[in-house]
Every structure is written in structure tokens, then in C-alpha cells.
């Protein structure tokens, strides 16, 4: 994977700040409180994948939210252009970020494993394998 340039990282950082502000100005209550978790700009800044927290929604709601954000992308772009003074704003593709949900599942698995952890050693004196709970 190729390392991103400093300018591209600055653009992503700036968009992470501007996008929630732009989305909160929209009149639709279904999308104006969505939290943006990450922005991934492609080389040349022509396209940007915008990740939002979709852990509270089911698949049908996520589809509606993506459609609403796609319809509102021209207003979001206009807000970003006015705030930055750029002559061009990237095209946004909105994607539900499920990494938060995955990390919660992984943490839950670690908790379950830690409660069941055993270690095994060989007792040379009795020539047997001993299992003991790890604390």
C-alpha cells in the first residue's frame, strides 16, 4: 500500500471536520445527526469515501440513509467549497462503517476467552499433563 502524501492527509482531516458541520445544517432529521468516523480521499482528491457510524441502523435504514446522503451531496459539497475556498470538492461516496461493531465483537470475544483461559504444563514428577485455570 502506498503512503499518502501530507496534502492528502490534510484534506482528509479538513473534510472530517467540515462534513459533520455540513450534514448538521441539512433539514432532514434522519441524516443531520450522523457521525462521520473517517474520510478516505483517493489520489488527486477527485473522490472521497466517507465512513459514517451505521451501528444503530438496520440494512433497510442504512440504504435510505445512503440515498439521502447521496441526494444531499451537492449541498454538502457547496458547504465544503464555501468553507475552504477550494475550486473543486471531491465526489463523496457514503459508506456505513462497521469497524466499530467489529471491534465490540472482538472485545466481547476477548472477555469470554479471558474467563475460560487455561494453561497446560507437564508435571515431570508425576509424568502427567496438568491443566490449571489462568488468573
DSSP assignment, residue 60? H
Asked whether residue 50 carries a pLDDT value surpassing 60, the answer given is: yes
Average pLDDT for residues 12-41, to the nearest whole number? 92
User: What are the percentages of helix, strand and coil residues in the chain, rounded to 5?
Assistant: 45, 25, 30
In the chain, what percentage of residues exceed pLDDT 90? 48
Query: Phi, psi (5° rounding) for residue 42?
Result: -85, 165
Please report the domains of the chain, with CATH numbers, ordered by start residue: 6-97 (3.30.300.20)
Instruction: State the DSSP string of 89-115.
Output: -PEEEEEEE-HHHHHHHHHHHHHHHHH
CA dihedral (39, 91, 42, 10) positive or negative: negative
Tell which residue, 119, 77, 117, 118, has the closest CA to residue 94: 77
Residue 103's pLDDT is: 77
pLDDT tens, position by position, 83-99: 999 889 999 999 998 77
Strands 91-97 and 128-133: unpaired
Amino acid at each position: 500500500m502506498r503512503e499518502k502524501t501530507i496534502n492528502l492527509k490534510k484534506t482528509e482531516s479538513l473534510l472530517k471536520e467540515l462534513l459533520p458541520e455540513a450534514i448538521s445544517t441539512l433539514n432532514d432529521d434522519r441524516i443531520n445527526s450522523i457521525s462521520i468516523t473517517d474520510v478516505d480521499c483517493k489520489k488527486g482528491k477527485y473522490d472521497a469515501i466517507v465512513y459514517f457510524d451505521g451501528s444503530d441502523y438496520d440494512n433497510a435504514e442504512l440504504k435510505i440513509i445512503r440515498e439521502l446522503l447521496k441526494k444531499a451531496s451537492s449541498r454538502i459539497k457547496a458547504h465544503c467549497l464555501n468553507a475552504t475556498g477550494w475550486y473543486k470538492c471531491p465526489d463523496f461516496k457514503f459508506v456505513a462503517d462497521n469497524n466499530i461493531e467489529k471491534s465490540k465483537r472482538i472485545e466481547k470475544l476477548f472477555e469470554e476467552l479471558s474467563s475460560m483461559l487455561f494453561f497446560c504444563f507437564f508435571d515431570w514428577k508425576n509424568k502427567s499433563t496438568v491443566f490449571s485455570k489462568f488468573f
